[in-house]
């Protein structure tokens, strides 16, 4: 009896910080945001409740277009991060020498040493009109005047891929690392071409890592603020920018909260849809033991 009591107590103690964190920093603020989003200001200090904020969102195309655009570009960033990250992860986990593996993995993590902000400014230094690329192009005579490489969608996507690709590589390396090389060899031995082995053995095996990586990357991208603002400027039209504007510039908390809720609901919906379309489920991939 005493033993199970101690067991329970240690479970509670170990679980408490996590539970507090989730409750106080995630659930409570979200409830608050949800509450504010349903509030309407009718006069100074006077409020009514209803869905007016949501209706306002839907009736203003610029808002939902921005949300759709953010989601669409985040999907693009996720796909590109997967395309870039998979070969890197495969090389680290399967091809590289045991000894160089740790070093390569560390090299992937090094950019995290530097803050997001500084990294974004790094891109600015390289890509602005007076930046490295522009002056180099002028020097070799490919262009006659300075070129502005910042403030377009391609730059934003590239910058975001650069920022988040790590979060794709890490889960992929750990799943691929657990894969027995003899599975790949058996795939060849039984007559599979490179493509067959990749499609029918490597990808299905790596699926938990792919799903985990994609979810993390998509959520991070859709919720990112710094990179789109700094690299995309005024044209970036990122949804987080709208939220910031509502909260800070316009001091319209009701509307900002509504946008926040919509971003959460919509990105969750995209993740659900993505799992559905690819025939995966969280239980069979991320939560797989």
Partner 1 sequence: MHDLQCESLSKRFGAYTAVDSVSFDVPRGSFFSILGPSGCGKTTLMRMIAGFETPTSGDIRIKGRSVLSTPPNKRPVKMVFQHLALFPMMNVGENIAYGLRCRGENRADIARKVATVLDRVGLPGTAEKQVSQLSGGQKQRIAIARCMVLEPDVLLLDEPLGALDLKLRERMKIELKQLQHQFETTFLYITHDQSEALLMSDNVAVMNAGEFEQIGAPQDLYNNPKTGFVAGFVGDSNRWPGRALSVSDGKVRVAIDGGGEAIALAGDERIAAGGPVELFVRPEVISIGAGSENTLGGTVESLLFNGASSRILVRMANGHLVEVGQAVMDGSVSIAPGETVEIGWSRSHGRAFSVAG
Q: Binding residues for partner 1, per CB under 8 A?
A: 180, 182-183, 185-193, 196, 200-201, 204-205, 207
Compare residues 76 and 282 and give the one whose CB is closer to partner 1.
282
| Least Å from the CB of residue 218 to partner 1 | 24
Q: For residue 17, count other CB atoms closer than 10 A to its CB.
A: 9
> For 281, which DSSP code?
-
> For 246, which DSSP code?
I
**How far, in Å, CA of 197 to CA of 205, rounded?**
11
The three-point CA angle 139-144-148 to 5° equals 90
Residue among 176, 157, 151, 167 nearest 234 (CA): 151
Compare residues 84 and 179 and give the one whose CB is closer to partner 1.
179
Compare residues 49 and 195 and give the one whose CB is closer to partner 1.
195
Compare residues 97 and 139 and give the one whose CB is closer to partner 1.
97
| Least Å from the CB of residue 172 to partner 1 | 16
Compare residues 118 and 190 and give the one whose CB is closer to partner 1.
190
| Least Å from the CB of residue 175 to partner 1 | 12
Compare residues 38 and 275 and give the one whose CB is closer to partner 1.
275
| Least Å from the CB of residue 96 to partner 1 | 18
**How far, in Å, CA of 263 to CA of 260, rounded?**
5
| Least Å from the CB of residue 163 to partner 1 | 32
Strands (E), 58-166: none
Q: For the chain, first and last CA: distance in Å?
A: 31
Collapsing DSSP states into helix, strand and coil, what is residue 40?
strand
| Least Å from the CB of residue 176 to partner 1 | 14
Strands (E), 125-268: none
């Amino acid at each position: 009896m005493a033993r199970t009591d101690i067991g329970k107590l240690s479970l509670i103690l170990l679980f408490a910080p996590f539970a507090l964190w989730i409750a106080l920093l995630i659930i409570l603020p979200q409830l608050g945001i949800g509450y504010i989003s349903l509030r309407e200001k009718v006069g100074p200090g006077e409020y009514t409740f209803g869905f007016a904020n949501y209706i306002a969102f839907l009736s203003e195309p610029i808002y939902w277009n921005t949300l759709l655009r953010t989601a669409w570009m985040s999907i693009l960033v996720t796909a590109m991060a997967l395309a870039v990250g998979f070969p890197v992860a495969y090389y680290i986990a399967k091809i590289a020498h045991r000894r160089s593996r740790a070093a390569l993995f560390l090299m992937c993590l090094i950019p995290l040493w530097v803050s997001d902000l500084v990294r974004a400014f790094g891109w600015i230094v390289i890509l602005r009109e007076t930046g490295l690329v522009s002056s180099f192009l002028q020097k070799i005579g490919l262009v006659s005047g300075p070129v502005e490489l910042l403030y377009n969608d391609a730059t934003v996507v590239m910058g975001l891929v650069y920022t988040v690709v790590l979060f794709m590589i890490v889960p992929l390396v750990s799943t691929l690392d657990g894969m027995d090389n003899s599975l790949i060899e058996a795939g060849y031995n039984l007559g599979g071409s490179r493509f067959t082995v990749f499609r029918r053995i490597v990808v299905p095996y790596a699926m938990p890592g792919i799903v985990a990586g994609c979810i993390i990357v998509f959520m991070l991208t859709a919720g990112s603020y710094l990179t789109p603002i700094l690299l995309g400027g005024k044209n970036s039209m990122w949804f987080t920018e709208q939220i910031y504007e509502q909260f800070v510039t316009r001091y319209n908390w009701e509307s900002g909260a509504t946008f926040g809720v919509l971003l959460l609901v919509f990105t969750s919906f995209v993740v659900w849809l993505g799992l559905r379309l690819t025939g995966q489920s969280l239980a069979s991939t991320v939560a797989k033991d």
